[in-house]
Structure 1
Amino acid sequence: MPSRSPHRFRRTAALLTAVAACVALAGCSSDEPSTSSASSPAATSAQDESVPGSTEQPRTDQQNQQAPTEVSIPSIGVKSTLMKLGLNADGTVEVPPAEKGMTAGWYSGGSAPGTPGPAVLIGHNDTRFGRAVFHDLKNIREGADVLVRDGAGKTLRFTVTGKEAVSKKAFPTEKVYGPTKGSTLRLITCDGEFDAEGHPVDNLIVYGAPA
């Protein structure tokens, strides 16, 4: 099977980078809207970046079969089904609705866990309904297991290799969403102090690799 040309590879990487700029904006606050539409935290964090829906890579039957269905992190007591997240009509990345704060999501525009590239799971820290699925993600330690079940029922085991809290204004897009030769995992939630509108100013990023 022929390999992708350098030009196509660069174009794909650029699209992922643009999409990542929107994902970095996902917010978690006690008074956020209860939908994941254009009024979601990803959209209400005012930024100029926007990604047209056409930039999301089409899903093949094989990719749909690989879509993850569940994530669990035994060390911090997390176990959640995974909802599929895409792009809103305005190009911002979807986040789980506030009323489903205890459910994490998989960004389907990126890689599926177990396939080459970064697989991104997004979850709220808190919502207006209270603590959410990734509330204790800050307590995770290097070496902890993250288990992801794929669509075929196979459990993939990842090991935490590091974590960092970053300002949403300085999100390390390439580090998080840039192409990788092998399968990698990123978990993203909100962190830090609140701004004047009640949104956390930072993101917490957890990095994982196959165990």
Structure 2
Amino acid sequence: MQWPSVKYKKFAKYAGVAALALNVCAAYGLDDKRLWLPAKYNTYFLKLKDAALAAEALDRCVKVLSGTIDLEQGVPDHPMYRILCQQKSGRNYNEMVDGLTMETLTTQIIIELEPTPEELEIIRIAEEARIAMAREVRMAEQWQICNDALMSKVTLMAGVSVLTLVRPEPVEFTEELVSYLIDFDAKDMYGAALKYRSSCTSLVSGEVSVGIRRRVD
């Protein structure tokens, strides 16, 4: 068996390097020929390539069609790059890339960070305040509903005087209902005082029930 000559070995070495370079370019999926810069900005080429790779890394950009420096939006010490991308739909769009941070500006990448203990405490306090406010609003609404329902029920009574003027704590408060007790006085046909206690239950369905019984102070 005859070994290759030194000249052939050198050729094989260079061919291997060239093949490796082609494999690297294929891995990136980016053709340098698609990137263009004015002659005086050639020193920005590597940064332009980084910008193109940043755009190509986006799910939205399936292929980089071209890329260049945007002289209108950038300045020499803070360049901006305009990368023309093709989307899965086949439509093209320009992805602007910050030349310093390599942040894609057209398509924002949302990074979800774990909240700190302090932030979790703020969230907890805010949620408790929201629940308390919702409870207060609901109690006020149901209190008014119960008052209106009671007044409708005692329209035929004489000398009605409601004693529970300030909203009390509900007797029962659940997701389905709110119940209140309302004390009031009335008079019989002879003008004698009558003492009553009303029990009102208001359901989330809108149904309201009012019961009245004699009150013993």
What TM-score, normalized by structure 1, do the two folds share?
Answer: 0.19
**Bigger proportion of residues as strand:** 1
Structure number with the bigger relative contact order (C-alpha 8 A, sep ≥ 6) is 1
Higher-Rg structure is 2
Decide which structure has greater helix share.
2
The TM-score normalised by the length of structure 2 is 0.19
